[in-house]
Structure 1
Amino acid sequence: MDPPAHIFANRKTLDQFSPEQFIGKALVVDCRDLKEGQAITIDKINIDKAKWADFLFFNLGWDKHFKDETYFNDFPYNSRKL
């Protein structure tokens, strides 16, 4: 989860949101097939299912890199066209 303060100056941090804002239906989008530095594009999302979701979670499988330098470098990212 990326709070607005991580990207924009003087914006909210996670502790400034109420817990109720994080309760709802979620859709997990499987992106484990993406390579380092590859964009997540709209074709990864099942639009029919996404219509019913309050949240989208992108499973990158990146946890496998947690203990090596790859974790911080060139991970898959959300395309601006998404």
Structure 2
Amino acid sequence: GDKGVLALICDSTNAMREGESPSEVAVGEGLKSVIQNAKGRVAVTSFSSNVGRIVSIARAARDAGRQCLVLGRSMKRVIDVADELGYMD
């Protein structure tokens, strides 16, 4: 554009919903509670592009002494890259 801005990239998930969305920290705390207190297996889905959510799920599972099973090529690829970049601690 005229001001040197090439593009605007944004997320509009729940844009029509009033109020604020919870932070990833709050979501992570909720995930941790559910995963720790579940009596059996826990199934969690996420977009493969949501690295923050993937990290929250992995940390919640780790803290609960559980393992994660990753399904899908895109999910595996994104996790591998996130791990290489140091996001998957």
TM-score (norm 1): 0.26
Between structures 1 and 2, the one with greater strand share: 1
- Give the number of the structure whose alpha-carbon radius of gyration is greater: 2
Q: Which has the higher contact order (CA 8 A, sep 6+)?
A: 1
TM-score (norm 2): 0.25
Between structures 1 and 2, the one with greater helix share: 2
